[in-house]
Homo-oligomer: A and B are copies of this chain.
Amino acid sequence: MIDELLGDTEIRRAAVAARPDIDPAITIARVSWGVVTEPGDGVAGALIAQLGESEALRFGLGPQNFGLSEKAIEEGRKRWMPRAQPRAIRDALRDAAEVGARLLLPGDAAWPSALDDLGDHAPVLLWVRGDQDQLSSAGSVSIVGARAATAYGDAIASELAGDLATTGTLVVSGGAYGIDGAAHRAALGVGGSTVAFLAGGVDRAYPAGHQQLFERIRESGAVVSELPCGAAPTKWRFLSRNRLIAALGDATVVVEAGWRSGSLNTAGHASALGRPLGAVPGPVTSAASAGCHRLLREYDALCVTNAAEVRELTGMSPTGTRGESRPEPEQVQLLDAMSTRTPRSPADLARTAGLSSERVKGLLGTLALEGRVSREEFGWLRVTA
């Protein structure tokens, strides 16, 4: 099939137009893989990793076998063959050119290497509308959550995303209604960077009500998909798209999520990738926070309540730290026994506090050095804080 595609003048011209800087055979092979596979097809990934995109296509869609488990590749072929139509490849290239979507390939300077952590499930390509360089920003946080967000969730997502974007952190999300939209908007609002991963082609606005938001993201951020233009978002593609959101963020934070929210899937991907996972708590009476509480209970997510804690998450060690030290018990006993108005003798204090006079004298010395007690003519006073 690859040879047939290479021989097609229109396809070849479109491939050169899409990426004048590289061998059109590579462009065509990648675009073809993007057309024939569903996102995250591990067999295709393994094949491409072993053979390169062109050879993989030649053998994956050709008659011979080549390494890998025979059964896996056989089943892969059966998945891909029904879609291996030159017209589909041509359409993918043409439609992308029409909307100005750029083709980003592994190895490109702008390719986000974080996605390679997905191994055989890494995307074979990305279609990008907007500033592709934002995909490889130095610091990034994925902020996701319920479509049916509450005012509380909207406010928290906005606050977190706005604060993070202000300090140069890329805000990654999925462009959905609710939390995703609030996160993108807040990042845009402070002139920050934001990337939206879509579950369908970058030529369509899904949800349609976010048409304008996507336009704004394209102007100062990037709208990205691994699916060819024209591809409809399906449930599977949403689930697959979530792995890209989880992989691109240095950490993933779920702001609000229902008990069975798709955000839990993104969270699961982040965990599986070893990315730190945060969940924002909310009222236990709010169904929109039930998924976040589930993440705290079942997924070892860390409770995050503000942007500083999210930053801590991105650079965090595996386990949190215990609270700070508390005042010495005997100091508390002694301070309990002291008055801020009536000076008392060490002997008096000893009896009231239930400490020895000697110990009281020692403690008074320490506390005096710290400025917490003062010596008066007729005894000791506690100094008010």
Contact = CB atoms under 8 A, between A and B. Distances in A.
Nearest to A302: B297
A375 interface: no
Interface in A166-194: none
A: interface residue count bin:
35 or more
A350 interface: yes
Interface in A303-326: 303-306, 309, 320-323, 326
Given A78-B357, A78-B358, A350-B82, A284 B280 contact: yes
B296 A281 contact: yes
A136 B305 CA distance: 39
B354 A38 contact: yes
A354 B83 contact: yes
Nearest to A357: B78
A281 B293 contact: yes
Nearest to A356: B78
B303 A293 contact: yes
Given A75-B356, A359-B79, A299 B322 contact: yes
Contacts of A38: 333, 353-354
Contacts of A332: 235-236, 239
B354 A79 contact: yes
A38 B292 CA distance: 43
A283 interface: yes
A292 B351 CA distance: 37
Interface centre among A268, A293, A303, A306 (most CB of B within 10 A): A303
A282 interface: yes
B283 A236 contact: no
A160 to B, nearest CB: 10
A156 interface: yes
Given A82-B354, A281-B282, A281-B283, 5 more contacts: A38-B333, A236-B332, A293-B303, A296-B296, A298-B323
Closest 9 CB pairs of A and B: A78-B356, A281-B281, A296-B303, A284-B305, A234-B336, A82-B351, A38-B354, A236-B333, A235-B336
